Structure 1
Amino acid sequence: MLDIASVKRNTYYYRLSHSSVKRVSTGGRPIPGYSRTKKGKKVKDAKIKEYLLVLIEGEEAVYGYRKLTKSLQKVYQLNINKKKVYRLCKELDILMPQREKKQKYPRKLARNREVTAPNQLWQLDIKYGYVLSSRRYFFLASAIDVFDRTIVGHYRGTVCEAKHITKMLQKAMMKRNIHIPDENDTPKLIIRTDNGPQFCSNHFRAFCAEQMKIEHERILPKSPNLNAYIESFHSVLERECYQRNEFITFEHAYIVVDDYITFYNEERYHGSLRDASPHEYYEKWQNNQVEPLKLTM
């Protein structure tokens, strides 16, 4: 008979003495079928379901399972967690419908663009550096001009919020003589970023769209190739700066990073720029001494 019922011989007597215990159909530990009050008294799940039905008939009708959990704990003094309340609500079919997640800052997707001059497309990203003495990381936010490879601006600090990045960009735009376009003009400068929280914030949106009248576009997740130039710079920075220096303090790290970016902009040869530095190539372009490169990015 045990073989026909698919019951193991060594569990037969246990099942007889625990016949009221329910089990999860997919395995795992058995569901006890009750919870306890703060005084240790058992309350069966059927009774808890009655409590839930009473709660949703009153002002708690607007609550989801998380707030219903708090109500059970406070009103009925139950020791119960939100996972069990979720299961009971699901069995009663009283779960609140999930709200649609609305994106505060609609994303404008990056697309292939032809870059023929400076200040048409800047790529922006954040990299981390490590300080030995405090065993903490610092942030480095850098913006690169895709055309001439110049790091037009960078920010480094122990915190990196949208306000720090927008301040850095504003200084970079002033240095490059980029003026706010008139209402009838189309935005000339495009800032391309990933989907980091700083770039999805309302502050960053207001800075780009309202304050500076520049276009901001974001790449798709897991597509760093669309931000290839700034990713390449951070790779070079890691190899030629971070790995060759041990940062003792934050001040030491900032000095080393600033010096390297100066070297990168003014002295480091770039094969893609015909063995010129970014500043040298930018000056030659201004003086019409080089044939402009056409990049699709």
Structure 2
Amino acid sequence: MFIKQGNSAAFVLRIIGLAQSTYYDRMKRRSRSPQAAPKGRGRPVPGYSITESGEKISDEQIQEWLLELVAGEEHVYGYKLLAKCLWNQYRLKLNHKKSYRLCQALDILQPQRQKRFKHPRKLPENRLITGPGQLWQMDIKYGYVAGRDRHFFVLSIIDVFTRVIVGYHRGTSCEAKHACQTLWRALDQHCAPGSERPVIRTDNGPQFVSHLFGDMCESWKMTHERIPPRTPDLNAFIESFHSNMERDLFRKEEYATFEGAYEALDRYMDFYNHRRMHTSLRNLPPVRFSEWVMSLEDRSAFFWPRKKAK
């Protein structure tokens, strides 16, 4: 419509974010006659497949063979194993895509298995955090070693109330077992025996949706919350910490080895916890702020007056 009004195609396409090649390709295909217009993009369907000896077998014959297979013992097979059966019996070269298409046309596809989650996702709740050890947030950050042209992982756990990094892992891999080990060490160091466990909040990374991580949280009787996709604001404290790490450390230094990167990261973590002042923590480092809060006899003296909600 805007192009018909006299605006240039390049100008309109830049506004709507469509590539010029895509636009002109669609215009070219639309200008063809309906008889010559292809049904889809890509090469046309040949209508046959080839055996090992080079013989052409029509799709109709292949479909007859497929029906014969599903009428017998092979009815338990899916489209991939049916293609394998045709190779074993007729030496027919049939890839999984075409096997799927032919089985779909015959309506003989096996029903898809429903994915079952051992630990269903629990969405975050709004909580009033009044002390340490009530809510921890976990997330993963990537660092880069220029000398090796490779990345490494940094998994961090932050206490939302005190901003203390209670545990972290760095390495060339970060699997569910590393997340469990890091969380276990943090609990051992920062939670007294018999005390209430903190709520753990993460995104939906494979480390956190794994059976191993879910089993650990269940065995330790911890609540594990997973934020919905594309909602990093619900994990804002750990996201903010990783943003500061990127700005203060990774953008300012280049590393030739993994050992050098890990040493720099360890120094930064020590600086952040023990010496880096936070204006939101009364200009105290996280560890000193935590010690100060724990020393208060009357915790209510800590909280600033707030306006009542309307």
**Pairwise TM-score range, normalised by the shorter structure:** 0.7 to 0.9
Q: Deviations over 1:226-252 (max 9, x none)?
A: 000000000000000111111111111
Structure 1 residue 7, shift from structure 2 partner: 8.5
Range that drifts further, 27-36 or 107-116? 27-36
Please state if 1:278 is matched with 2:292.
Answer: no
Partner of 2:83: 69
More helix by share: 2
Partner of 2:19: none
Please state if 1:127 is matched with 2:141.
Answer: yes
Partner of 2:7: none
Please state if 1:87 is matched with 2:97.
Answer: no
Structure 1 residue 177, shift from structure 2 partner: 3.3
Matched residue of 1:226: which SS?
helix
Letter in 1 for 2:206: P
Matched residue of 2:234: which SS?
helix
Partner of 1:163: 177
Partner of 1:262: 270
Measured in 2, the distance between the counterparts of 1:121 and 1:195 equals 17
Q: Quick check: 1:116–1:292 contact (8 Å CA) kept in 2? A: no
Matched residue of 2:207: which SS?
coil
Letter in 1 for 2:265: V
Q: Deviations over 1:119-149 (max 9, x none)?
A: 0000000111011121111111100000010
Range that drifts further, 105-114 or 123-132? 105-114
- Residues 40 and 207 of structure 1: CA distance in aligned 2, closer, same or farther (over 3 Å): same
Letter in 2 for 1:49: Q
Q: CA RMSD in A?
A: 2.1
Structure 1 residue 29, shift from structure 2 partner: 3.0
Measured in 1, the distance between the counterparts of 2:199 and 2:41 equals 55
Q: Quick check: 1:180–1:213 contact (8 Å CA) kept in 2? A: no
Structure 1 residue 261, shift from structure 2 partner: 0.8
Measured in 1, the distance between the counterparts of 2:127 and 2:81 equals 49
Partner of 2:209: 200
Q: Deviations over 1:53-83 (max 9, x none)?
A: 1110112101121211111122211112122
User: Whose relative contact order is higher, 1 or 2, with alpha carbons under 8 Å and at least 6 apart?
Assistant: 1
Matched residue of 1:203: which SS?
helix
Structure 1 residue 27, shift from structure 2 partner: 5.9
- Residues 246 and 7 of structure 1: CA distance in aligned 2, closer, same or farther (over 3 Å): closer
Q: Quick check: 1:117–1:292 contact (8 Å CA) kept in 2? A: no
Q: Quick check: 2:157–2:167 contact (8 Å CA) kept in 1? A: yes
Q: Give the 5 Å matches for 1:175-186.
A: 175-180=189-194
Q: Structure 2: any 5+ residue segments left out of the alignment?
A: 1-32
Measured in 1, the distance between the counterparts of 2:116 and 2:282 equals 47
The count of aligned residue pairs is: 271
- Residues 93 and 231 of structure 1: CA distance in aligned 2, closer, same or farther (over 3 Å): same
Matched residue of 1:198: which SS?
helix
Matched residue of 2:208: which SS?
coil
Q: Quick check: 2:48–2:59 contact (8 Å CA) kept in 1? A: yes
Measured in 1, the distance between the counterparts of 2:267 and 2:41 equals 61
Partner of 1:111: 125
**TM-score normalised to the size of structure 1?**
0.85
Letter in 2 for 1:80: L
Letter in 1 for 2:225: E
Q: Quick check: 1:125–1:194 contact (8 Å CA) kept in 2? A: yes
Letter in 2 for 1:253: A
Structure 1 residue 30, shift from structure 2 partner: 2.8
Please state if 1:227 is matched with 2:235.
Answer: yes
Partner of 1:253: 261
Q: Quick check: 2:134–2:199 contact (8 Å CA) kept in 1? A: yes
Letter in 2 for 1:189: P
**TM-score normalised to the size of structure 2?**
0.82
Aligned identity (percent) is 49
Structure 1 residue 31, shift from structure 2 partner: 2.2
Measured in 1, the distance between the counterparts of 2:273 and 2:125 equals 27
Measured in 2, the distance between the counterparts of 1:34 and 1:272 equals 70
Q: Quick check: 2:191–2:197 contact (8 Å CA) kept in 1? A: no
Partner of 2:222: 214
Letter in 2 for 1:38: E
